[in-house]
Structure formats: C-alpha cells, structure tokens
Amino acid sequence: MNALAATNRNFRLASRLLGLDSKLEKSLLIPFREIKVECTIPKDDGTLASYVGFRVQHDNARGPMKGGIRYHPEVDPDEVNALAQLMTWKTAVADIPYGGAKGGIGCNPRDLSKSELERLTRVFTQKIHDLIGIHTDVPAPDMGTNAQTMAWILDEYSKFHGHSPAVVTGKPIDLGGSLGREAATGRGVVYATEALLAEYGKSIKGMTFVIQGFGNVGSWASRLIHEKGGKVIAVSDITGAVKNPNGIDISELLKHKEATGSLKSFSDGDSMDPNELLVHECDVLIPCALGGVLNRENAADVKAKFIIEAANHPTDPEADEVLSKKGVIILPDIYANAGGVTVSYFEWVQNIQGFMWDEERVNMELKKYMTQAFHNIKNMCQTHDCSLRMGAFTLGVNRVARATILRGWEA
C-alpha cells in the first residue's frame, strides 16, 4: 500500500472513531491548493533543461502551511499529496500552529552541478513566490535539499518581498537558522522514545537498540541514545550493516563513516546482512530510512518489543496488524519524527521576533512539546480505546476539524 492510500486509510479510521460528519470528513481530505510549474534553466553546457516543480498546500485552518521541498527523480504528485496531508496531522499532533504542505522538483540533484541547482531553485522560487510566505506557506528542506537550498529560496524571495528570514526554515545559522535544528528530528525521536519507555517503567539506559538508517536522523538518534547509556547493538545504512552485541561505540562509528563514507569494515563490530537487521534481537527497533520496510514478508519475524517510527511510513498496514497481534508497541511516525517540524516552528518564531535562542532553550522547549504531545496521544488512546497510531491520528484530525468548524467551513 502506498503512502497516499495508507494515510487516507488512517485518516478515515480516525474520522470514524471521532464520529466526524461525512461532509466535513470529505472537505478535510481535499487539498487547499495544488501548484505545478515548469522550471526551465540553462545547463552549464549551454543546453536548456526543463524540470517540473510541485507544491501541494493541504490545509491552513490552524495556521500557515508548512512542509519540505524535495529534489528527487520520483517526485510524483500523489506522493507529494500524501505527504502534505500527513504534515497537516503531524503539526496538529505536535500542537504547533501550522497546516500541512509539501513540494518538490522532479530531478536528480546528483546529476546537477551546484550552479545548476542554484539556478533551478531560483527559477522555482520565482514561479511560486506569490504563493508562499511567512503567514501563508513556509517551506523547509527535505530529501535532496539542505540549508543552502533554503538560503537560495530566501534570497530569491527577498528580491520580491524584502528581507524575510521567516519564509523558510532549516536555514544556515548565519542567515537566521536556529541552533539545534540540525539534530532536531533525531533528538525528538529520543525524547519520544523516553516518553514511551517511561509509560512502561523503563528508560533508555541499559536497553538494546537497532537502528536502520545512519543519515541525519539515524546518526543523531544513535549518538544521543549512546550518550544516555542505551546499547546500540546494530546499525545499517545504504552502504552496509554493522553489529556488536556489547554495544557499538557510536562516536567511533561516526568517525569511521566520516573517513571512509561507509559503515563497512568497521573495526569495533561485525558486518551483517542489512536485511537481517530489522528482525535482529533487540528491545527497541528504530527505522530511520525508507518507507514500507516493515511488511507482511518480515513482520512476523520482528523480535523488538518497541518500534519507533523515525522514518515516514516505515510500517505497512499489513505489518501493523501482524505486529499489534504480537503485542509489539509501535510509536507512529506522525508523532515520533515531529521533532524536526517543531524546531522549524521555533526557528520561525525566532525570525519573526528577531530574537534568537541559545541551544539549551531550543532543546528544552522541544522536550516539553514532545512530552506533552505523548500524554495527549495517550489520553486519546484511553478515550477511544485504540492503538498509539490511531491515538495520534484522532488527536491530529480532531484538532484540525475543530479549527475548521470554528472558522465556519460551510459558509
């Protein structure tokens, strides 16, 4: 089941639990606006190349729309739509005053030079500058984009609208980016894990962890779990997988990856089959990579007691059922990886106030938001007698529905 189908299914289940009016349910699913633009740029060799850019703005009942821009060869409108909708529920779960959006350009950033990427980003910004804005829609980095991409968007947007640092988040620190933004998603995952384990009278210290994905989120989550006394016993990324039953020294692994660009031939651990990683014996499994990695093929063999969804949509609905029957506790993506958008919100707030926080305050506020959201989800689970995933979805959907009704959606 693809991301769109799964998101729609979760939304419908939540809507049933909440007893939403069928007309309201329908109107909540329809995106506010879908933008498609053609971006033509001169390549470095003088030839012209054309790329299709998208922006789906899903809902603005609770505030400006928020969501990433990805540069990826398979940016498909259906997926962008699903991710925009997911951002609507995610921002509502975290209780930050935003709606959902998502965008992207169908291109392979690896095939483009830096100057080509800059030209492409600027043309895209020129085409959508009057449809985004500080109080309208605030983009952020996603797959294939980074702080530099945001800097170009900010500069191009400011040519039309004057200096506007709050128009994008995930910016370089020198241009109004927030301290702590880099580690935010991984740190949020750790705060979410702590909140969940505390429910069961456990803590990170002494528990065993398996982490799939060692990019931004996976490496920060591993590092912080390691610092808190958790045992990370297996890690994988696209280059390979490494295990050590006594716990991997994460700082050494980070150095090794920095030096060699790969997890292979790491001295402090044995290499393993990356496919075996998800079914490795552990207390907590954290998928931080691609969607759909837990499916009907491998779900029955998962040995973890807790799964923390740091990736978007890592668990197929079929796997969800199998795992629930086994009594595995799944902390849903819509909450678990909300640390990134929460610190994006802090960055936006700091830019609007023209007053920047120190990193300690950013992390303290993030912990407060993640912990509060967990308790709100638990309350929904008790009210509706449902799983954590449905608790999170009912929480998010209910907040958006209430805002929509209060604003007078039928008028």
Least confident of 120-129, 192-201, 263-272, 391-400: 263-272
Residue 208 has pLDDT above 90, yes or no: yes
**Mean of pLDDT values over 221-231:** 95
Decide: 332 and 388 in contact? Cβ < 8 Å: yes
Radius of gyration of the chain (CA): 21
pLDDT at 49: 97
pLDDT of residue 273: 87
| SS3 per-residue string spanning 20-88 | CCHHHHHHHHCCCEEEEEEEEEECCCCCEEEEEEEEEECCCCCCCEEEEEEEECCCCHHHHHHHHHHHH
Between 350 and 262, residue with greater pLDDT: 350
CB atoms within 10 A of CB 130: 11
Asked if residue 410 has pLDDT above 80, the reply is no
Structural contact between residues 96 and 130, judged by C-beta atoms closer than 8 angstroms: no
Active-site residues: which are they? 102
The C-alpha angle 363, 364, 366, rounded to 5 degrees, equals 65
* Residue 218 CB contacts under 8 Å (≥ 6 apart), including other chains: 186, 211, 212, 235, 237, 286, 288, 289, 310
> Residue 324 burial (CB < 10 Å; 0-12/13-18/19+)?
middle
Pairing of strands 208-212, 284-287: parallel
Query: How far apart are alpha carbons 133 and 45 in whole angstroms?
Result: 34
Q: Would you say residue 380 has pLDDT above 70?
A: yes
Percent of the chain predicted with pLDDT > 90: 82
The mean pLDDT value for 182-198 works out to 96
Instruction: Please tell me the predicted confidence (pLDDT) of residue 1.
Output: 59
Q: What is the reported pLDDT for 54?
A: 95
Mean pLDDT calculated for residue range 341-352: 97
Tell me the pLDDT band of 296, cut-offs 50, 70 and 90.
confident
Q: Where are the alpha helices (DSSP H) in 242-315?
A: 250-260
Residues 284, 212 contacting (CB under 8 angstroms):
no
Tens of pLDDT, residue by residue over 70-116, are: 999 888 888 888 889 999 999 999 999 999 999 999 999 999 999 99
Length of the chain: 411
pLDDT score, position 289: 84
Q: Dump pLDDT digits (tens) for 132-142.
A: 999 999 999 98
Does the structure show a pLDDT above 60 at 411?
A: no
Taking the C-alpha atoms of residue 130 and residue 151, their distance in angstroms, rounded to an integer, is: 18
Is residue 152 within 8 A of residue 118, CB to CB? The reply is yes
Beta carbons of 170 and 351 less than 8 angstroms apart: no
pLDDT one-digit tens code per residue, 322-334: 999 999 999 999 9
Cβ atoms within 10 Å of 59's Cβ, excluding its own? 27
